Chains A and B, each alone.
Chain A
């Protein structure tokens, strides 16, 4: 039997999904009542009155709830999920607004009716009287603090954090060269094709609550909802059905609806379902990315950074349930593969009257990569050096691993890179895109009147953050292997890769392995799917649990065969003496033997019953042993493992229309040992598409009153097949992680991280003036050209507009 690990095998999930038999949240609960919400049309307002009388005779109406109807903890503000000492002014929203609304889309009234159309019709008839307040929209308005989002939060500052390693200000001041940069990244969002949704059934007889929710953490929802509703954890099951994409937005929990729908199901004694529609998803879930950065950097004649001093402002939206994870990641992962000399970073996380901000694939890293890579390019331009050379000179070298940055990462642990080979990755990237040959390409294009540019960007990504994941592996008497892990899946092919791992560890065909994820009935202890952690955390736990089950199977089989366990192996589902195919016992039979029985429930079970014989001097189950061939193990690494990569792109900009076309896009990617290269490629492709989308098309266009102007797929421009690069050229580097049993690093987010940085660099190279703000539309590029033409700029990359030589 060939090893499954490392093979690009077909996914086990797909057959069902291709037949239209996927079971996503809205495919369940056709008998359920439907919930709809009256949401705030104002970005900031006091609620004066709610008049539901007009809706009371609406067809199909079952119930209407406002904040006042919610008892005890149900109506209280949602939890602040990740407290942090720097988060001095944490505020979270109410499930239904109490007295004030702080963003358009905030839920105010819940309507339950017999179907969704009727629930929406009833909701339309509810009149809420608002007293509008001035809205705070965008980083700059939040900083100015002319108005406050929360009256008791001075300056709109939720959190303020400084980290430093060395005296960056002094290092910058003493450096032979200094630059200042002002950089901005606009909001975007995860935008999975399936929005949020939750279905709840309260079993009035067993008094148990069962919740299905489109989440990235079923155990998180379970704990939060049990606490809100005053139920024992054991009386709440949370099941994650097929999830139609998450990309971060579904890690937030409990969403208001995840509290309200189960509560309504309990209160009404009937199943209730909420399925978010697309316009709700834009205004009532979460966004990310919006940050403004000020960089001061000092460097020597070779371009080596001596000091880096970064101050940034992070727009966290109306509330901050997910804490300061995103800006912490930005502030630490900004460093990428480089040694910054002395480093100081300071951020303020600011409230605005807009949708909350929580991690979206990349989670603060795209901003960090943008800032660091823009800085690298500015240094190269200042010294007239090749951009790759400046990067090379600042790289952490392989021999310097593990490398300690002297900072604290998002998991509260030291920022120490475990492994990586950045010079090798850069060499491959330069070869892949033809970096050294590009000037000839540029000249040839120019001769045809075309304008092209090349750029590159590097990143390092801390993946597989703790605290832990676990797995349970059980060999059934049929020989089938069931694997359960509590971590959820959102379409990344977890069932396939976990089956690959289990099949290899146990020595069984992959077709004999069945994997369950994200179902608290099957595995109750878990954290969730985020931070590129599934393969590292659950994958490692599955490996450890499978190893435990394997050891047990070998011990039981060895006893039955009177052989030494050291001489045993498992091949193709048969436990045998090494090299002796005739000697074996099928794994299913071993499972039978492992469980001493009084009752034979079938023919195979007779072998384990009490009159069969065996050693009568010892107990049937030895002290410290358990019946069955099972393994239950947890994986809890000391800290994150750091994946890395580099992207390069060649773009063409239309001299007349300012349209931007990505001609080539190359990726060198190192996520340690590959479990399934095809799945990893798919993750990179999807990430790159989101990166290109974030660079060229996607933004959240709020007006000054806090109305989102583009809250639909018609106006929020996600890439179609017509917008992605023709082919994404990928090369893998495999630097195994020393921090887990499989040597793996996370791969889920990487593709998106350098997107804005690399496209900005390529456009800058094509246009000859600095690109300091992303995304960039043709209209934006046109206006930049106009501004630079007016200020007498030549097509020569002198960094004047936003990149200033410091005094």
Chain B
């Protein structure tokens, strides 16, 4: 087996083009498991941990560009990247999602790019990226492109990357409002979620974003629920008034989110339970997000 270890993005893309059979390797949290259990014996490994261009992040206008090699621990702010510790504050939804990866050792090693590359329906970052309308930046020797997150997940553990492409970054719109993420698992730590949900409220663009994990073949948005909530917020002037959310809106939002999922029965839970869990997660995260929005308004009012 060949071990390719490019030290720059140019070398990495050249290696990717020359060895389409090579398996990209970053934090190893998925690939190494397959190697350890002899489930996979790829002809080559393409180690991306020495490619400086994939690390770090920067905020540019309304967008935060997060390098594919940024770890969960950098997303939470536990471990600084490049002397910067503010990433967790800048992207609170991603920080919350990264925090639910129970093991510090995995948070230290697993990367956002690797999470997208594996494209598991249970990937922890995915619901937040869907809710915030992020894009995935992919590169190859042919050039760079941005794939809207809505088009990225194409099937169970499949994504829109071409065989010669690598994920180089994730472009996340800087939040203009509250973000929340929550998941339910049978056990607290290290568990694959029974269901996960993210919500992003953008008062500037009057936009509601959602993302569902572990409850469909791919991570999905709850588009009808987004419309329902956006309509209610606009119709009742709630964006401006920051008034309390009618309980009925919260309940209906939860139901609409639940309806958007197509879960299955498996060892972690029944489809019925997953739908219930999603309704609860959606109602709760909406409640928290709206509470945050109202609190921010009060603070602004006082300031």
Q: What is the bound-complex CA distance between A709 and B267, given in angstroms?
A: 7
Find the residue from A714, A721, A778 having the highest chain B CB count within 10 A: A778
- Which residues from B are CB-within-8-Å of A777? 186, 268-269
Q: Does A121 contact B (CB under 8 A)?
A: yes
- Which residues from A are CB-within-8-Å of B58? none
A657-B38 in contact (CB<8A): no
B149 CB, nearest partner CB in chain A, Å: 26
In chain B, what residue has the closest Cβ to A654?
Answer: B280
In chain B, what residue has the closest Cβ to A775?
Answer: B186
Q: Does B191 contact A (CB under 8 A)?
A: yes
B188-A723 in contact (CB<8A): yes
A658-B102 in contact (CB<8A): no
Q: What is the bound-complex CA distance between A715 and B267, given in angstroms?
A: 8
Q: Does B189 contact A (CB under 8 A)?
A: yes
B191-A783 in contact (CB<8A): no
Q: Mark A383-404, 1 if CB is under 8 A from B, else 0.
A: 0000000000000000000000
* CB under 8 Å from chain A, chain B span 150-200: 184, 186-192, 194
- Which residues from A are CB-within-8-Å of B266? 709
- Which residues from B are CB-within-8-Å of A715? 192, 267-268
Q: Does A782 contact B (CB under 8 A)?
A: yes
Q: Does A659 contact B (CB under 8 A)?
A: yes
Given contacts A709-B267, A720-B102, contact A782 B273 (CB under 8 A): yes
A455 CB, nearest partner CB in chain B, Å: 20
B41-A121 in contact (CB<8A): yes
Q: How many residues of A contact B (CB 8 A)?
A: 29
* CB under 8 Å from chain A, chain B span 187-236: 187-192, 194
> How many A-B contacts are there with CB distance less than 8 Å?
70
- Which residues from B are CB-within-8-Å of A514? none
Q: Does B272 contact A (CB under 8 A)?
A: yes
Find the residue from A657, A701, A722, A782 having the highest chain B CB count within 10 A: A657
Given contacts A121-B41, A720-B102, contact A779 B188 (CB under 8 A): no
Q: Does A476 contact B (CB under 8 A)?
A: no
Find the residue from B184, B273, B274, B280 having the highest chain A CB count within 10 A: B273
Q: Does A94 contact B (CB under 8 A)?
A: no
A657-B37 in contact (CB<8A): no
In chain A, what residue has the closest Cβ to B35?
Answer: A117
Q: How many residues of B contact A (CB 8 A)?
A: 25
Q: Does B4 contact A (CB under 8 A)?
A: no
Q: What is the bound-complex CA distance between A242 and B268, given in angstroms?
A: 35
In chain B, what residue has the closest Cβ to A720?
Answer: B189
Q: Does B85 contact A (CB under 8 A)?
A: no
A717-B187 in contact (CB<8A): yes
In chain A, what residue has the closest Cβ to B276?
Answer: A782
A783-B270 in contact (CB<8A): yes
- Which residues from B are CB-within-8-Å of A657? 184, 276-277, 280
Q: What is the bound-complex CA distance between A285 and B273, given in angstroms?
A: 32
- Which residues from B are CB-within-8-Å of A656? 276, 280, 284
Q: What is the bound-complex CA distance between A710 and B187, given in angstroms?
A: 14
B188-A722 in contact (CB<8A): yes
Q: Does A786 contact B (CB under 8 A)?
A: yes
Interface of A, secondary structure class, is loop
Q: What is the bound-complex CA distance between A97 and B105, given in angstroms?
A: 40
Find the residue from A658, A779, A786 having the highest chain B CB count within 10 A: A779
Find the residue from A117, A124, A659, A710 having the highest chain B CB count within 10 A: A659
- Which residues from B are CB-within-8-Å of A370? none
- Which residues from A are CB-within-8-Å of B277? 657, 778
- Which residues from B are CB-within-8-Å of A717? 186-187, 191
In chain B, what residue has the closest Cβ to A716?
Answer: B267
- Which residues from B are CB-within-8-Å of A714? 190, 192
Q: Mark A680-724, 1 if CB is under 8 A from B, else 0.
A: 000000000000000011000100000001100011010111110
Q: Does A120 contact B (CB under 8 A)?
A: yes
Q: Mark A765-788, 1 if CB is under 8 A from B, else 0.
A: 000000000000111001100100
Q: What is the bound-complex CA distance between A720 and B194, given in angstroms?
A: 18
Q: What is the bound-complex CA distance between A782 and B38, given in angstroms?
A: 38
Q: What is the bound-complex CA distance between A403 and B186, given in angstroms?
A: 43
- Which residues from B are CB-within-8-Å of A121? 38, 41
Q: What is the bound-complex CA distance between A792 and B268, given in angstroms?
A: 27
Q: Does A802 contact B (CB under 8 A)?
A: no
Contact with B187, one of A120, A658, A720 (Cβ below 8 angstroms): A720
- Which residues from B are CB-within-8-Å of A786? 272
Q: Does A277 contact B (CB under 8 A)?
A: yes
- Which residues from B are CB-within-8-Å of A658? 273
Given contacts A657-B280, A658-B273, A779-B273, contact A697 B192 (CB under 8 A): no
B269-A779 in contact (CB<8A): yes
In chain B, what residue has the closest Cβ to A703?
Answer: B267
Q: Does A279 contact B (CB under 8 A)?
A: yes
A778-B102 in contact (CB<8A): no
B267-A778 in contact (CB<8A): no
B89 CB, nearest partner CB in chain A, Å: 25
Find the residue from A120, A279, A715, A717 having the highest chain B CB count within 10 A: A717
Q: Mark B260-289, 1 if CB is under 8 A from A, else 0.
A: 000000111110111011001000100000
- Which residues from B are CB-within-8-Å of A720? 102, 187-190
B270 CB, nearest partner CB in chain A, Å: 5
- Which residues from B are CB-within-8-Å of A277? 37
B189 CB, nearest partner CB in chain A, Å: 4
Q: What is the bound-complex CA distance between A723 and B102, given in angstroms?
A: 12
B272-A710 in contact (CB<8A): no
- Which residues from B are CB-within-8-Å of A723? 187-189
Contact with A779, one of B186, B192, B284 (Cβ below 8 angstroms): B186
- Which residues from A are CB-within-8-Å of B188? 720, 722-723
In chain B, what residue has the closest Cβ to A718?
Answer: B187
Contact with B269, one of A721, A722, A778 (Cβ below 8 angstroms): A778
Contact with A722, one of B189, B194, B267 (Cβ below 8 angstroms): B189
B23 CB, nearest partner CB in chain A, Å: 17
B268 CB, nearest partner CB in chain A, Å: 7
Q: What is the bound-complex CA distance between A355 and B174, given in angstroms?
A: 52
B280-A778 in contact (CB<8A): no
B42 CB, nearest partner CB in chain A, Å: 13
B185 CB, nearest partner CB in chain A, Å: 8
Q: What is the bound-complex CA distance between A697 and B186, given in angstroms?
A: 7
A105 CB, nearest partner CB in chain B, Å: 14
Q: Give the 7 A-B CB pairs with smallest separation, nearest first.
A: A779-B269, A779-B273, A720-B189, A722-B188, A701-B267, A656-B280, A722-B189
Q: Can you report 11 A-B residue pairs in the complex whose CB atoms are below 8 A from each other?
A: A117-B38, A279-B37, A659-B184, A696-B186, A720-B190, A722-B102, A723-B187, A778-B184, A778-B277, A779-B269, A779-B270
Given contacts A277-B37, A279-B37, A657-B280, 20 further A-B contacts (CB under 8 A): A121-B41, A124-B38, A124-B41, A657-B184, A659-B184, A697-B186, A709-B266, A709-B267, A715-B267, A720-B190, A721-B189, A722-B187, A722-B188, A723-B189, A778-B269, A778-B273, A778-B277, A779-B269, A782-B270, A783-B270
Residues on A close to B: CB < 8 A?
Answer: 117, 120-121, 124, 277, 279, 656-659, 696-697, 701, 709-710, 714-715, 717, 719-723, 777-779, 782-783, 786
